[in-house]
Structure 1
Amino acid sequence: MASHVIQGRTVTMPVEVRDATVCSAMYPVRADAARAVIAYSGLDVAEVFPGKAVCVLTFVDYRDGDLDQYHEFGMAFMVRPPGVAGAAGLADLRQAGVFIHWLPVDQRFTLEAGRSIWGFPKELADIELRLSSPYKRCIVRKDGRLVLDMLVKPGVPVPGPGPMTPLDAYTHRDGLTRRVPWSVRARGVRVRPGGALIRLGNHPIAKELSELGLPKRALTSSTVARAEMTFGDAIHP
């Protein structure tokens, strides 16, 4: 069984998250702009409509997991797997993976683990989560500058717990793109069209989001009251 030593602690693979709350919104953005943002990865965006890619913004409260408790915000793009050609439309999205472009966290242990085990682009930031009401809110500040203030409205309940769904996440660090096997089981899911509000700050990431076309209406937003996740070792495609 593979393992990694992080700050003197042994992390055994796969890494498990036993309890987390997840809130996210998917935005249609210009495919040419999204390609420019992730050009360094060598990956291509999936197109939900001709000329439109999907940017995913997610915030997570990790309450119980192998990497301890922490808050996280993610900026990601739906991408085609390496070597797979695609045509615009839902078929492109069905085979898509998720490329993680920016992933700030608020604790140092998960920062080092994420970088060294998987190549996740984690960096320290101030992440304030307000999850006690049906309206879920995330405020991200980096180096004293506001990145964004994001609100996700409550959606319609989706009945029943979902199965453990396999996904592929992609990362890029030190000149190398990696694939990370990732599985999620979601309970207490709510989904709605639109449903997210964003206020951008003056940080460079906020500028990137603005140039992609945010804040505009989200395609969909969702909340997960309890998520379980499993992360396998990174694979070099």
Structure 2
Amino acid sequence: MASHLIQGRTVSLPVQVRDATVCSTMYPVRADAARAVIAYSGLDVAEVFPGKAICTLIFVDYRDGDLDTYHEFGVAFLVRQPGTAGTASAGGLSDLRNAAAFIHWLPVDQSFTMEAGRSMWGFPKELAEIDLRLSSPYKRCIVRKDGRLVIDLLLKPGFPVPRPAVPLIAYTHRDGVTRKVPAEMSGRGVRVRPGGALVRLGNHPIAKELSELGLPKRALLSTTVERASMSFGAAVDL
């Protein structure tokens, strides 16, 4: 079993998250603009609609897991997995079936998970102020970095749907290396709705980047998972 020494503690793989609340919303954005944003990764966005890519905003309350308790916000893009571009060149459903998530920005509010995420998987974790308000019917996340507002995101949960355990593939890029991270998530209390999100952007550079992608705009789909469990395996360098 692989393990890593993080701040004097041994963390073994796969890393387990036993209880978390996960909220996410997806936005269609211009594919050329999204390609420019993630060009450093060497990956290509998935065009699930002609000329359109998918940008996903995620916030998570990790309540019980191997990396302790913390809050997290993420900006991700659906990408074509390396080696599938030839079969996915037609875009549309073919791209969607082969898509994975490239994690572009991933602030957290605790240093232990930041160091673990960086060293074990190459996640682009950095410290920020993340205010999660999850006890009301609306789910809200406010992110500030260096005293500047990045985003204020409000989600309205939708209708319940079944959610079996599903494999997930994430890609990361750090120190010039792109990595593939296998994961799995299962959950209870899953709700989905078309639209369902409101965004207010601040004056941080990430906010400017999101505005250049066309946000704020109507979301494509929003999802909330009240009780999620996850497993993260060892990263593979590409």
TM-score bin (small chain): over 0.9
Q: Deviations over 1:33-86 (max 9, x none)?
A: 000000000000001111000000000000000000000000000000012211
Partner of 2:216: 215
Q: Which runs of 5+ in 2 are unaligned?
A: none
Q: Deviations over 1:168-211 (max 9, x none)?
A: 10000000000000100021001000000000000000000000
1:167-178 matches, cutoff 5 A: 167-178=168-179
Partner of 2:144: 141
Question: How many Å separate the matches in 2 of 1:50 and 1:157?
Answer: 30
SS in structure 1 of the partner of residue 227 of structure 2: strand
Amino acid at match of 1:216: K
Question: How many Å separate the matches in 1 of 2:169 and 2:98?
Answer: 10
Amino acid at match of 1:7: Q
Question: How many Å separate the matches in 2 of 1:186 and 1:209?
Answer: 29
Mapped pair 1:35 → 2:35: yes
Q: Which runs of 5+ in 1 are unaligned?
A: none
SS in structure 2 of the partner of residue 202 of structure 1: coil
Q: 1:118 aligns with which of 117, 121, 132?
A: 121
Q: Deviations over 1:97-143 (max 9, x none)?
A: 10000000000000000000000000000000000011000000000
Mapped pair 1:200 → 2:197: no
Partner of 2:83: 83
Partner of 2:132: 129
Amino acid at match of 1:218: A
SS in structure 2 of the partner of residue 133 of structure 1: coil
Verify the 8 A CA contact 2:84 2:98 in the aligned structure 1.
no
Amino acid at match of 2:193: R
Verify the 8 A CA contact 2:27 2:219 in the aligned structure 1.
yes
Instruction: Please say which of residues 163-172 and 201-210 is displaced more in the overlay.
Output: 163-172
Question: How many Å separate the matches in 1 of 2:92 and 2:198?
Answer: 26
Partner of 1:14: 14
Question: How many Å separate the matches in 2 of 1:94 and 1:139?
Answer: 32
Question: How many Å separate the matches in 2 of 1:192 and 1:91?
Answer: 23
Amino acid at match of 2:203: N
1:48-67 matches, cutoff 5 A: 48-67=48-67
Partner of 1:107: 110
**Could you tell me how far 1:88 is from its partner in structure 2?**
1.8
Question: How many Å separate the matches in 1 of 2:196 and 2:157?
Answer: 7
Question: How many Å separate the matches in 2 of 1:109 and 1:154?
Answer: 31
SS in structure 1 of the partner of residue 236 of structure 2: coil
TM-score, length basis structure 2: 0.98
